A and B are shown apart, each in its own frame.
Chain A
Amino acid sequence: MAQHEIRVKVNGTEHKAQVESRLLLVHLLRETLGMTGTHIGCDTTHCGACTVLLDGVPVKSCTVLAVQADGRAVSTVEGLEQDGKLHAIQEGFWQEHGLQCGFCTPGMMLTSAALLAHNPDPSDGEIRQAISGNLCRCTGYVNIIKSVQYAAAKLRPAAESAAE
C-alpha cells in the first residue's frame, strides 16, 4: 500500500516520516515520534484525550490521518512547557487541582489553550462549551473550569500589554 513521505512540524521542530496512508496522526505522534503525552482514550472520536492543535486548531488526532498533517504544524502537550517553565494552563491545572488521574489532562489543556488564544476572558459557560468534546471522569469539571480561569487571569496582563 502506498507510502507517503511527510513533513510535520511538531512543537516547532520539523519531522520527516515515511507513513502508510492509513496511519493515524495520534499513532504518528506516539509511535513514530515517541511523544506519548498525547493519549488514546476511546479511539472513537468521543473523549478528546488525543486532542492536539493542528495549525492552532484543536482536533481529535485519532480521527485525522498522519498524511493529512503533511506540511502543517502540530502542537502537543510536550510543547506547552517552555524553557523549563510551565505554561499558564499547566500551572492552572496544578494550582487548582484540575486533574486526578491525569488521563484527559493533555487534551483538556490543549483545548483550553486554544480557547484562551482567541478568548482571553471566557465565562465559565464558554469554558464548559469549549471543553464539551473532552471527557473527564474524575473531577466533575469544577476544578478544570477553575484551572482555565486561573490561566486566563495569568495570561491576560500579557495579552493586554502585547495589544498596546
Chain B
Amino acid sequence: MIPAPFDYHSPRTLEDALALLQSHRDEAKVLSGGQSLLPLLKLRLGAAGHLVDIGRIPGLEYIEEEDGVLKIGGRTRESALEHSELIQSRYPLLAETAAVIADPLVRNLATVGGNLAHGDPANDHPATMLALRAEVVATGPNGARTIPIDRFFLGLFTTALEPDEILTEIRIPAPPARSGGSYVKLERKVGDFATAASAVQLTLGAGGEVASAGIGLTNAGPTPLRASDAEQYLIGKQPGADVIAEAARLASTIAMPSADRRGAIEYKRQMARVLTARALQRAIQWAREH
C-alpha cells in the first residue's frame, strides 16, 4: 500500500517546523515516529498535503525530573521510556504502559508525543496521562502554552492542538512518597489495540488510606475516560478487597466501548472492571513498597 502523494519537509529547527505548519495549516501533519500516521496514510483513512517531519530537530527527546516535575520531550521514543531507569524506578505506570504499546520494533520509532497528539482513545498513553494528571506543552508561532490533560482530548482523533502547534513536552507531577501506579491491558496479541485497559496512579497517606487517585480507561469511548466517581470514592478509604471491587465497578460504569471483533460491549465493560481492580491492586502494592 502506498499513501496518496504529499510533500515532505524536514526542518532542522522548531522555528522552521512551525513556519511550515503556519503556511500549510490544515494541509499539514506533523510526522513524529510515524507509527500511527504512516499506516493511516497508507490505508488512505486520511490524507495530508504536507508532512512536516520533526525527526531531525535536536532537543526533543529527553526524560528528566526537575523541580518536582517529570518532563518528557515530545519526540521521546517509547523504547527510551520503556528502558529508562528513572521511569522504571519512579513511574511504574509509565514503564508498564510503554512496555505494552504495539511491539518492540514499533516502539523503536513511536513517540510519546505522537501517541497523545494522534488523539486515538485506543492508544495507551492517553489514559495513563489522565491517571498521572499530566500537562501537555504545545508550542506554536506565539510561543508555548500548557494544556491540562483533561482539556486535551476533544473527540475521536481530535485534540486541543491547533494546526500550527507541535506537542513539545509532557509534564507529570513527580509522585510523593507512598505512590504507585500500574497499567493493565488486555490484548488479543502483541501489537493489538486494547480490548480494554486501565491506568491507575495513587498515593497512600501515612495511615495507609488512599490520599489521591487517578484512573484512566483506554478504548472505552471516543476519548480516553477519567473514572472520576471511582477516584472520589477511593479518597480517605483503606484500600481493602471490598473497596477495590467497588472502585473498579464504579470505573466500569463510565465505559462506553463499541462492539467489534475484540468483543461485545458488556464483555468489554466487564473487562474494564476486572482490569481496573488488578491495576489498583498492583498500584497499591507498589505504593506500600516504595
List the interface of chain A (C-beta within 8 A of B).
1-2, 4, 20-22, 24, 27, 43-46, 48, 51, 57-60, 62-65, 67-68, 70, 111, 129-130, 132-134
Contacts and interface: CB of A to CB of B under 8 A. Distances in A.
Nearest to B51: A21
Of A63, A64, A130, A134, the most chain B CB neighbours within 10 A belong to A63
26 contacts: A4-B8, A20-B5, A21-B7, A21-B8, A21-B51, A22-B3, A22-B4, A22-B5, A22-B41, A44-B1, A44-B39, A44-B43, A45-B38, A45-B102, A45-B106, A51-B105, A58-B108, A60-B105, A63-B34, A63-B38, A63-B106, A64-B109, A65-B38, A65-B51, A68-B34, A68-B55
A59 B8 contact: no
B106 A24 contact: no
Interface residues of B, number: 29
A134 to B, nearest CB: 7
Interface in B1-25: 1-8, 10
Contacts of A4: 8
Nearest to A27: B2
A1 B5 contact: yes
Given A22-B2, A22-B5, A60 B106 contact: yes
A129 B34 contact: no
B73 to A, nearest CB: 18
B194 to A, nearest CB: 16
Contact of A2 (B7, B34, B43, B103): B7
Contacts of B108: 57-59
Contacts of B109: 59, 63-64
B219 to A, nearest CB: 18
Interface in B25-54: 31, 34-35, 38-39, 41-43, 51, 53
A67 B8 contact: yes
A17 to B, nearest CB: 14
Contact of B190 (A62, A111, A132): A132
Nearest to B38: A63
B283 to A, nearest CB: 23
B163 interface: no
B105 A21 contact: no
B7 A1 contact: yes
A22 B38 CA distance: 10
A133 B6 contact: no
A63 B103 contact: no
B104 interface: yes
Closest 4 CB pairs of A and B: A133-B103, A21-B8, A133-B105, A1-B5
Given A63-B34, A67-B10, A129 B104 contact: yes
